[in-house]
Amino acid sequence: MMKILVVTLLPILMMASFMSSKAQITATIKGLDSDTVYVWQYPLANIEDMRKDTLIANNNMFTYQIPEEPTAYAIIPHKAVYTRSDGGFYIAQTKFIELFSLPDEQINIEGELEDYYLDYQISGNMVSRALGQLRTSYKSPAIEAVKIELKMDSIRENGGTQDQINELFHTRGQYFGEIAQAKTEYVNNNFDQDLSAYLISRFSLEKFATYYPKLTEDIRNGMFHDILEHSYKNYQEFSAVKLAEQTLTTGKDAPHFELKDNNDKVVSLSDFEGELIVLDFWGTWCSPCLDEIPKLKSFYENNKKDIVLIGIACNEEKDEWNAAIKNYGLEWPQLINSDKNDVAVMYGIGTYPTKIVIDKNLKIVKRFVGATEEFFTEIEELMK
């Protein structure tokens, strides 16, 4: 019996293996040659789980294995990546492929890589096909926007004037408007299509909130349900931040909070009642925040007897935060924000760094947005 079972199952197992190997993206793109291809992907169930792979094409062709969960992709040929004059990088969105895969799906892409555009046709699920077709409706303005981006960088490199940059910036904005209009028109005509759910997730948060209720219930609960939930959560947070920013004016009670410091000790705002307090909202990912540290250290050293400076790191990885505290020698209290007790939302923080001055009675005195000299000049007067 055992031998018969093994012989019976073996062809089935071989067939399953063969079917699994077919679950892939197969692409043939003229002009790609044997260049590098970057694949950025995230599962539709977790937009924050970005994964990046690098492939090498072979004679205009490449394949990529499809994960066992619905997934979104940006497939970026190396020829879509431009080095800026300042050493940074610019990726021309007209020259990469945006698509989605479902488990056990085989997707074929045929295309041609042009100077400013990747023209392609895609087989597979309806959403990927619809997105590929939609992009052709705004091909012309998208190409012009890329040309302007590259021209602005060339002008900066060659010492052009700010007026030239401003004029091009304005023109590029008009092309962006045409692209946005094409996407909005699609959504307005297709509230019962999955692609509309994806498109509105890329709208501004305020525009997203307008369109989200218009989607049919099936679409809200469909392929992009988790992405829509992520966008809706961001919109709620955005709204809470804007409301707090508008209502936390001079003389209002400072919202109470408790957060852990870098020694894992719980610190409360009320611990500092009776002192003039400055809450400094920052992050290791924020370049202006880091650039400001030397001046902030000097300020603290000169005024630590008259003021309590408290750093609150936001959107932060704990290891990177601890390393920054040590590397920069930050001696004032350092707290890390919490998703469960989001102090940045409580205080309406939409820009980093932002400093909130609180008086001895735990009342709001003033808000300083950005790395501004205004804080350092005005705080001297507030300490008197």
Amino acid sitting at position 362? L
335 close to 264: Cβ distance less than 8 angstroms: no
pLDDT of residue 120: 97
Give the fold, CATH level 3, of 258-382. Answer: Glutaredoxin (3.40.30)
Cα-Cα-Cα-Cα dihedral of 316, 317, 323, 325, to 10°? 30
CB neighbour list of residue 221: distance below 8 Å, 6 or more residues apart: none
Angle among Cα 271, 275, 278 to the nearest 5 degrees reads 90
pLDDT of residue 312: 98
- Nearest alpha-carbon partner for 303 in 278, 281, 326, 279: 278
pLDDT of residue 87: 86
- Nearest alpha-carbon partner for 225 in 217, 237, 234: 217
Q: How far is CA 220 from CA 194, 234, 322, in A?
A: 8, 16, 40
Query: What's the CA gap between 193 and 191, in Å, rounded?
Result: 6
Q: For the chain, where do the domains classified as CATH 3.40.30.10 start and end?
A: 258-382
What's the DSSP call for residue 171? H
Helices (H), 57-161: 126-137, 139-157
Angle among Cα 162, 168, 171 to the nearest 5 degrees reads 145
Omega before 353 cis (within 30°)? yes
The first and second tokens of residue 267, run together, are 């610190």
The first and second tokens of residue 228, run together, are 């829509």
Number of other CB atoms surrounding residue 301 within 10 Å: 10
Query: What's the CA gap between 262 and 287, in Å, rounded?
Result: 21
pLDDT mean values, one per 10 residues, the chain (384 residues): 38 39 88 96 94 96 95 97 90 96 94 96 94 97 96 90 93 97 98 98 96 98 97 94 92 96 95 96 95 95 94 94 95 93 94 96 96 91 80
* Entry field: residues in the chain: 384
255 close to 346: Cβ distance less than 8 angstroms: yes
Query: What's the CA gap between 163 and 159, in Å, rounded?
Result: 12
What is the pairing mode between strands 266-268 and 258-261?
antiparallel
